[in-house]
């Protein structure tokens, strides 16, 4: 039995994604969806004016990334002279589908931090990926919410040569992340303590991106996500037996 390279790459990524979401969180997510359905008929209480204002500011300064536009958005300032580097801070967000309804706390912290960054000179440019809307993009990067991706993208020289973009992936705790957490990461540059990611799923220079496999692998992972959690393990068992 032969399996495509895309499938072999997707199986470990899928297994990792499954491990990142504990069973208890999944059950809480299903209960949360049911609660939201029941509560939808009840008028919601007005949100905090501060939180609402921060969300409005964040929406005005951040770029929404999609599968179609992210390569055009995550670039350097065309008016800047080389050599220079553009910093991008991308918030990986999600809703009931990919974050099981538990990203509200980190999103609030992100909005407040984004509002603060607007007043900071030379702050990173901001972007957001909604994995509920952009499941293929999140799959092609092998990321899930809530998390941050910090990119440092060099501007190409006149001969179009440039160092590879640096990417740092930072998962966020769903319950304990606060504005102070993000301020330490960004303002105090704690992100520099995170080892740059150089694996196969690097959005710019990874094996998958460089070989045009990002979209096929994203579809494979999406297909596996629709299967029962026990089915991939059976497939892995069959594959290991065929190798034996």
Q: What is the mean pLDDT of residues 177-206?
A: 94
Q: Each residue of 161-191: pLDDT tens digit?
A: 678 899 999 999 999 999 999 999 999 999 9
- Choose the weakest-confidence range: 57-61, 79-83, 90-94, 189-193: 57-61
pLDDT of 231 above 80: no
pLDDT of 225 above 90: no
pLDDT of 218 above 60: yes
Phi, psi of 228 (to 5 degrees): -60, 145
What pLDDT is attached to residue 80? Answer: 72
- Choose the weakest-confidence range: 2-6, 48-52, 90-94, 196-200: 2-6
- Closest to 88 in 3D by CA, of 59, 61, 108: 61
What pLDDT is attached to residue 243? Answer: 64
pLDDT of 211 above 80: yes
- Closest to 96 in 3D by CA, of 29, 42, 158, 51: 29
Distance between CA atoms of 40 and 32, rounded to whole angstroms?
12
- The residue ranking higher by pLDDT, 181 or 242, is 181
Using a pLDDT cut of 90, give the percent of the chain over it.
52
Q: What is the architecture of the domain spanning 50-201?
A: 3-Layer(aba) Sandwich (3.40)
Kindly give the residue spans of alpha helices, DSSP state H, lying in the chain: 5-20, 23-39, 49-61, 70-73, 104-117, 135-141, 179-186, 207-210, 214-225, 230-243
Distance between CA atoms of 36 and 182, rounded to whole angstroms?
28
What pLDDT is attached to residue 84? Answer: 83
Q: Domain residue spans in the chain?
A: 50-201
Whether 127 and 88 have beta carbons less than 8 Å apart is answered as: yes
Write down the pTM of the prediction: 0.73
Sequence-separated (6 or more) residues with CB below 8 Å from residue 99: 93, 131, 132, 144, 145, 146, 174
């Amino acid at each position: 039995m032969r399996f495509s390279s895309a499938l072999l790459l997707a199986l470990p990524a899928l297994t990792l994604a499954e491990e990142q979401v504990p069973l208890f969180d999944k059950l809480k997510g299903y209960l949360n969806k049911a609660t939201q359905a029941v509560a939808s008929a009840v008028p919601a209480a007005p949100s905090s004016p501060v939180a609402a204002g921060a969300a409005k500011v964040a929406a005005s300064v951040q770029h929404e990334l999609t599968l179609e536009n992210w390569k055009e958005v995550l670039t350097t300032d065309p008016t800047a002279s080389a050599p220079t580097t553009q910093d991008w801070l991308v918030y990986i967000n999600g809703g009931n589908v990919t974050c099981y309804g538990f990203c509200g706390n980190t999103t609030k912290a992100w909005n407040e931090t984004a509002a603060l960054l607007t007043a900071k000179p030379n702050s990173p440019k901001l972007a957001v990926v909604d994995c509920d809307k952009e499941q293929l993009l999140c799959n092609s990067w092998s990321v899930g919410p809530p998390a941050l991706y910090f990119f440092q993208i060099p501007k190409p020289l006149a001969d179009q040569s440039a160092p590879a973009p640096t990417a740092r992936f930072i998962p966020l705790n769903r319950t304990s992340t606060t504005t102070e957490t993000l301020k330490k990461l960004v303002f105090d540059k704690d992100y520099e303590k995170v080892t740059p990611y150089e694996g196969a799923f690097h959005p710019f220079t990874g094996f998958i991106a460089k070989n045009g496999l990002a979209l096929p692998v994203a579809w494979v992972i999406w297909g596996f996500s629709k299967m029962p959690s026990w089915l991939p393990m059976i497939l892995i068992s069959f594959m290991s037996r065929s190798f034996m």
